[in-house]
Amino acid sequence: MSYSLSFDDKFFTGTAGEDMVPSDKPTSVRQAALSLDARTRLDILFDVFNMENETAEIVSDDDFMQLVEDRIKQTNTCTDLSSPVSVWIDAKGDWTLEIYDDENGGRTADAEEN
């Protein structure tokens, strides 16, 4: 079953002022995107955004995080509402990010191809 996204901005961007660092259990969409390995990032840029190799290889961390965040908001779908929340990057749900609850019970984020 899939659901529409109904999370606040913190779910997407993280806490204002925090240093964005990779995590095994990311707590936001942007942190989850930043936490992906280079090969997965390239695969997402190729498969989801239809980028050519030369263009995909020069996409900065900030640009990648923004692209993924914008696409997830456009796709507006998640598979589960409990942690980890699996948010869809693409309309088919082939690419997802896993967002985890933080230590305080708040929502937090990983990517996998389905």
What is the overall mean pLDDT for the chain? 88
pLDDT at position 104: 54
pLDDT at position 81: 86
pLDDT at position 1: 85
The whole-angstrom distance between residue 24's C-alpha and the CA centroid of its chain comes to 13
DSSP string, 62-98: HHHHHHHHHHHHHH--BS-SSSSEEEESSTTSSEEEE
pLDDT at position 97: 97
The length of the chain, given as a count of residues: 114
Query: Over the stretch 56-105, which tens digit does the pLDDT of each residue have?
Result: 999 999 999 999 999 999 999 999 888 999 999 999 999 999 999 876 54
Stretch 17-27: mean pLDDT: 83
pLDDT at position 44: 98
Entry pTM:
0.86
**Contact predicate 98/111, CB 8 Å:** yes
pLDDT at position 19: 65
